[in-house]
A = this chain, B = another copy of it.
Amino acid sequence: MDLEFTDDQLELRDAARQVLAGACPPSLVRSLYEGTGSPEELWKVIRELDWPALGLPEEHGGLGLGFVEVGILVEELGRVAAPSPLLATVTQFAAAVRGSGSSFALGDVASGRRTGTLALADDGRWDPTRPPVRAESEGSGYRLTGRVTHVLDGDTADEVAVVVGTDRGPGVVAVPGSEVVASRQTTVDPTVPLATLEFDGVAVPTERVLLAPGAPGAADAIARIVDEATVAIVLSTVATCRAIFEATVEYAKVRHQFGRPIGSFQAVKHRLADCFLAVERAGALGWFAALTVAEDDPRRPVAVAMAKAAAADCAQLLSRDGLQLHGGIGFTWEYDLHFLLKRAVTGDLLFGGGAFHRSRVAAMLGLADDGEAQ
């Protein structure tokens, strides 16, 4: 097992970081918080760099790189709390298309002409075995009914991959964003726009059925899709936490109290050492999980659940200690730290929090009581 980046991967990371330093400064993030800006310009830069195409196969206009490279971009976007449709488009929608064995709209995704997302959450619970949207057969297609919450970019995405339940088992279909009734949720982090989608008898023609309900292996394929989306949230969230960590270390070096930098106080040192551990721990588990996705390794379900649980621990600790160690300044709207704090808090809970994922691990270790959600 080799958990370190190759030289090419390091180069990609550095290039991405440099681009985002210019294209996604804190002032852009602030403009979203203050309702004065939009992510459009950044999205243009990202499309020009072909990032949407990075992990897609060459036959669909992609660059043919793998999930590790996609993860590197996800990390860099998370580091700066970037508002961008890339995460949902690539790690949710495209993952759903490809994980379904389809190639629907991948060309448009690669070229950046279409954005997308994944709809699964039932009142804030992401359980692929219990999707909240029902699909009834109608001709050769389906008709959808139900309500999904916490859909990332749900009110702006061009395409929504919907995990649906039927009497024959679950499946995945694609619905145009224009046919969905979406309500933007007012949440703590405007760079992670979430929406509630209502499906009130939306018709899905056969060419938009990505994974036919009842197809052999459908449940496993959906589990894999959700795992891929979950790992992306992990990488993004841990990167955000690392940014909090680095900001806090820097602050501890320059902020003086009692005539010395607060970072020279042992209690501060020890907390920062513990924060460092939390970030490294979640990062190492996150990349291990990403590799199991990249290589389709059978350890994937446990690895992903463990990684999300660790990311939740990390987000809880870093959002708390990052804020506490900054003292009053971090508590003010004017200081940029809270963008990261709120992004960490959001990443902690999207696609399930720590206790949910630990309960999945318990079931997979064979330790949970019967009837446990997997």
**Which chain A residues have a beta carbon within 8 Å of chain B's beta carbons?**
265-267, 269-270
Contacts and interface: CB of A to CB of B under 8 A. Distances in A.
A139 B88 CA distance: 78
Nearest 6 CB-CB pairings of A with B:
A266-B266, A266-B267, A267-B270, A265-B266, A267-B267, A267-B269
A269 B266 CA distance: 10
Nearest to A270: B267
Q: A interface, by DSSP: helix, strand, loop or mixed?
A: helix
Residue among A265, A266, A269 facing the most chain B CB atoms (10 A cut-off):
A266
Contacts of A267: 266-267, 269-270
A267 B274 CA distance: 13
Contacts of A266: 265-267
- Copy tally for this chain in the complex stands at 2
6 contacts: A265-B266, A266-B266, A266-B267, A267-B267, A267-B269, A267-B270
A314 B151 CA distance: 44
- Best-buried of A265, A267, A270 by chain B (most CB within 10 Å): A267
A231 to B, nearest CB: 32
Nearest to A369: B369
A270 B266 CA distance: 10
Nearest to A265: B266
A340 to B, nearest CB: 26
Nearest to A267: B266
A18 to B, nearest CB: 38
A12 B121 CA distance: 63
Nearest to A269: B267
A259 to B, nearest CB: 15
Contacts of A270: 267
A141 B267 CA distance: 65
Contacts of A265: 266
A265 B270 CA distance: 11
A269 B267 CA distance: 9
Nearest to A268: B266
Contacts of A269: 267
A369 B93 CA distance: 38
A267 to B, nearest CB: 4
A84 to B, nearest CB: 41
A364 B238 CA distance: 39
A265 B265 CA distance: 9
Nearest to A264: B266
A291 to B, nearest CB: 35
A203 B266 CA distance: 65
A311 to B, nearest CB: 26
A121 to B, nearest CB: 24
A53 to B, nearest CB: 49
Nearest to A273: B267
A181 B270 CA distance: 54
A106 B265 CA distance: 59
A267 B269 CA distance: 9
A269 B265 CA distance: 12
A321 to B, nearest CB: 13
A266 B270 CA distance: 10
A247 to B, nearest CB: 22
A267 B270 CA distance: 7
A285 B347 CA distance: 37
